[in-house]
Amino acid sequence: MSREQARLNQDVRDSSTTSLLDIEVLKKFDVAGPRYTSYPTADRFVESFGPEQHAVWLAKRGSGGLRRPLSVYVHLPFCNTICYYCGCNKVVTKDRSKAAKYLRYLEKEVQLQTKLLDDPSIAQMHWGGGTPTFLSGAELRDLAQMLCTYFDRSSELECSIEVDPRGVSEESVWLLAELGFNRLSVGVQDFDREVQRAINRMQSEAQTAQVIATARAAGFRSVNVDLIYGLPKQTLTAFDRTLDKVIALSPDRLAIYNYAHLPHVFKPQRRIDAADLPDVDTRLQIFSLAVQRLTQAGYVHIGLDHFAKAQDDLAVAQRRGRLHRNFQGYSTHVDSDLLGLGVSSISALGPTFSQNVRTLDEYYDRLDANTLPTMRGIALTDDDLVRRNVILALMCHFELAFDSLEIAHLINFREYFETELQELEAFVDAGLVTVEGDCLTITERGRHLVRAICMVFDRRLRQQRMRASYSKVV
């Protein structure tokens, strides 16, 4: 073991003794479970909820005078290379003409969706994928113009996009700013060359730094960097060097995701040798080190794998009790509706969720028939609504006042959740949760295990424990 490795191991052990990141406690509760970007989770959606049901709830938006803000997500699935770790719905191709066809059909879907809207004004827009910047400059411009035709965009619109620094020029970044984008999310994953070779994503620090610098020069309000821990060939020492480089770039937000190795679900992952993955202790030590380094660098740990500078909108929203969580992760838009466009995209309208078909052929066939491409969804029961509010409160704010649920849903919290409160005793005994009076609080130590704590309240998971396709909670 090198001297640097020994120092890092000791630093991680020291951070564990501060009671915030106890590796043994993390291991004890590190089960597989949902990320809770929704409740119920997407694997509980049913095919009996189809285009007709989605259309009904889309038309109901704003009924009763309770209009909620609307966010739009646009899924652009194309990539020109394959990253072995990726579990996104994507189409890997060198044929740029496929994007042109997809955009034509995307406009068909927008027409079908928006004709049911009584108010097309939107508060937020996000383009994800895939790699949205797979599109040419002209296609990016045409797509932005098309969406402007059907949606009303205010000057305060939060408009974000995911980019791959390997294929984004300075001109492209300036074009995105011209088109109204003000938030940029940059994929990095890891700067170590051995790791990059193992995941088939060779990306230089210079490329990444150039994109971030250009985004700032172009006036972007916020830059996010994505990292992943638990990748093949990762070591504590090498990831520490990656953290050095990322902290030097000073992004406004960071997301550090736990790699979920599920080769039976995601075919590209079959190219990763499981023997190259870090063991459980190393993976948790890497996570612990990341929390320690980023906290020391002045970032606020928002929750799960998200960090932000103290002045960033996410951190401000959390301090003000206005943080929300949806299919894009943490959001400042409280309790907004979400309209998903494109293959596999998910919508959240009132007390419903719905998801589009996953393949291009199905998508095109549905739209050729002038049918909404909804594949499945779910209408929430009264019980789902109660549990969704519990899980959202814990995921976003780490505490829950019983009386707020009792007033909103006309229940007695302790009676309604008698079984769950008993199951929480294991977390209470470990110092991860406190239940005092009529308030449940996740402690500082417990914040890293919030997914496991939320699972206690997941009735559908208890009834059907299908966790094989979930990632570990840490």
DSSP secondary structure letter of residue 472: B
Q: Of all helices (H) and strands (E), which one includes residue 433?
A: strand 433-436
Pair of tokens at residue 348: 């959240």
Domain spans in the chain, listed from the N-terminal domain onward: 3-31+381-463, 44-341
* Backbone φ, ψ for residue 392 (5° rounding): -65, -40
* pLDDT < 50: residue spans in the chain: 14-19, 467-468
Rounded to 5°, angle at Cα 120 from 115 and 126: 110
The DSSP string of 10-33 is HHHHHHHHTTS--HHHHHHH--B-
CA distance 43 to 32: 14
pLDDT of residue 208: 97
- CA-closest candidate to residue 30, choices 462, 450, 393: 450
Which residues lie below 8 Å from residue 156, measured CB to CB, with a gap of 6+? 123
* Backbone φ, ψ for residue 218 (5° rounding): -85, -5
Cβ–Cβ under 8 Å, residues 224 and 186: yes
Task: State how beta strands 121-129 and 70-76 pair.
Answer: parallel
pLDDT of residue 11: 53
CA distance 311 to 341: 31
Which residues lie below 8 Å from residue 294, measured CB to CB, with a gap of 6+? 243, 247, 254, 256, 301, 307
Helices (H), 152-279: 170-178, 193-199, 205-217, 236-249
DSSP secondary structure letter of residue 471: P
DSSP secondary structure letter of residue 419: H
C-beta atoms surrounding 224 within 10 Å = 22
3-class DSSP assignment, residue 188: strand
Cβ–Cβ under 8 Å, residues 458 and 391: yes
What is the CATH class of 44-341? Answer: alpha beta
Pair of tokens at residue 159: 């408009």
Helices (H), 126-235: 137-150, 170-178, 193-199, 205-217
- CA-closest candidate to residue 19, choices 446, 426, 474: 446
What is the CATH class of 3-31+381-463? Answer: mainly alpha
pLDDT of residue 16: 42
The DSSP string of 45-80 is -BTTS-HHHHHHHHHTTTGGG-PPPEEEEEEE-EES
- CA-closest candidate to residue 324, choices 249, 391, 264: 391
Amino acid at 143: L
User: What is the reported pTM?
Assistant: 0.91
C-beta atoms surrounding 413 within 10 Å = 21
CA 231 to chain centre: 18
Task: State how beta strands 183-189 and 222-229 pair.
Answer: parallel
